[in-house]
Amino acid sequence: MTNIIWDRLEAGGVDYAIDVFPLDALIAAFPDRPREAPTLWRQNGYVADWAIVDGVLVLTRVSRESIARLFAEVGLPVRARWFSGHVRAWRGERRRTGYPPRTFFDDEIVFEIEAGRVARSWTLDLRGVPDQTDEEVRLSLPAFLWPKS
């Protein structure tokens, strides 16, 4: 299993990890876009830091100089006007529940972003959700791995 380094999002003074890559849409729009070699820990070759500031998604840092140069004229931080979509952010312990299993975290927050501005957000406290039962774990495994009864 590969350890992936997720983009980071700071919202309300709390750091979260996110599994969407808002910068990819902007990079793809450039005809001479910078191409960073994928790594084992990051398929798109860079890591970006984001923040929600006054209801706006803001890019605050990017790990590769070739991508940071895209913002040379305006500088960072920059409002992510190019991005619309949902950003799921999480922190806390990773857990699994249900069959088929769903991965979730103790604290999750979902932002609906429209042209860089937060349209809506949902805060989820999932600490009360039970973990998988032994039967759910067994059913999530291929049959040849099932313990003999």
Per-residue pLDDT tens digits for 1-11: 446 778 899 99
Q: What is the average pLDDT value for the chain, to the nearest integer?
A: 78
pLDDT in tens, 92-121: 777 777 666 677 677 788 899 999 999 988
Nearest to 9 by CA among 138, 110, 134, 97: 110
Residue position matching structure tokens 């876009």: 33
How is residue 5 annotated by DSSP?
-
Q: What angle do CA 95, 60, 83 make, to 5 degrees?
A: 75
Measure the CA–CA gap between 109 and 71, rounded to whole angstroms: 28
**Cβ(50)–Cβ(18) under 8 Å?**
yes
The pLDDT value recorded for residue 3 is: 62
At 117 the three-state DSSP class reads strand
Tokens 């590969």 sit on residue:
2
Residue 9 pLDDT: 93
> What's the confidence (pLDDT) of residue 54?
94
pLDDT-derived band at 132 (thresholds 50, 70, 90) equals low
pLDDT for 34: 59
Q: What is the largest CA-CA distance in the chain?
A: 66
Query: Residue 13: in which H helix or E strand, if any?
Result: none
User: What pLDDT was estimated at residue 1?
Assistant: 41
**Peptide bond preceding 34 in cis form (omega within 30 of 0):** no
